[in-house]
Amino acid sequence: MLGKLIKHDFRATWKVMVSLDAVLVVLGIMAAVVLQTIPHVEDSFGMGLFMFSCIGLFYIGVIAANIVSLIFLVIRYYRNLYTPEGYLTFTLPVKTDMIIHSKVITGSVWMLLCYLFTFISLVIAGAGFVAATDISRADLLNAMREGFSILGFGDPGFTAIMVFVILLTPFAGIVSMYFCISVGQLWQNHKILGAVLCCIGLYILNQIVTQVVFFASGFWSLMSGSGADIDATFGTLYKNMMLNISIVTFVEAVIFYIVCIFITRSKINLD
195 belongs to a structural domain: yes
What's the mean per-residue pLDDT of the chain?
83
The predicted pLDDT at position 188 comes to: 76
The residue out of 105, 135, 165 marking a domain boundary is 135
The residue out of 107, 135, 163 marking a domain boundary is 135
> In the structure, what pLDDT confidence band is assigned to residue 228 with cuts at 50, 70 and 90?
very low
Together in a domain, 122 and 157: no
The residue out of 76, 100, 135 marking a domain boundary is 135
Together in a domain, 78 and 182: no
Together in a domain, 117 and 8: yes
- Which among 187, 203, 170, 172 has a CA at the least distance from the CA of 263? 187
Together in a domain, 103 and 129: yes
Euclidean distance between CA atoms 245 and 14, whole angstroms: 31
User: H or E segment at 226?
Assistant: none
Whole-structure pTM value: 0.86
* Residue range 37-61, pLDDT digits in tens: 765 555 566 666 777 777 888 889 9
| Residue 239 · residue 161 · CB < 8 Å | yes
140 belongs to a structural domain: no
164 belongs to a structural domain: yes
Together in a domain, 121 and 166: no
Together in a domain, 192 and 130: no
259 belongs to a structural domain: yes
Range of the domain at 120: 1-135
* Residue range 108-161, pLDDT digits in tens: 999 999 999 999 999 998 888 777 776 666 666 676 666 666 666 667 777 888
Together in a domain, 163 and 106: no
Strands (E), the chain: none
| Residue 130 · residue 140 · CB < 8 Å | yes
When divided into structural domains, the chain yields a total of 2
Together in a domain, 128 and 189: no
Together in a domain, 116 and 183: no
Together in a domain, 112 and 164: no
265 belongs to a structural domain: yes
Alpha-carbon distances of 64 from 68, 71, 202, rounded to whole Å = 6, 10, 21
Euclidean distance between CA atoms 257 and 271, whole angstroms: 23
3-state secondary structure at position 90: coil
The predicted pLDDT at position 91 comes to: 81
pLDDT at 227 over 50: no
143 belongs to a structural domain: no
Q: Find the Cα–Cα–Cα–Cα dihedral 206, 211, 212, 218, rounded to 10°.
A: 140
* Residue range 58-73, pLDDT digits in tens: 889 999 999 999 999 9
Phi-psi label, residue 65: left if phi above 0, alpha if psi -120 to 50, beta otherwise: alpha
Which residue type sits at 164?
Answer: F
Together in a domain, 119 and 191: no
Together in a domain, 156 and 224: yes
142 belongs to a structural domain: no
145 belongs to a structural domain: no
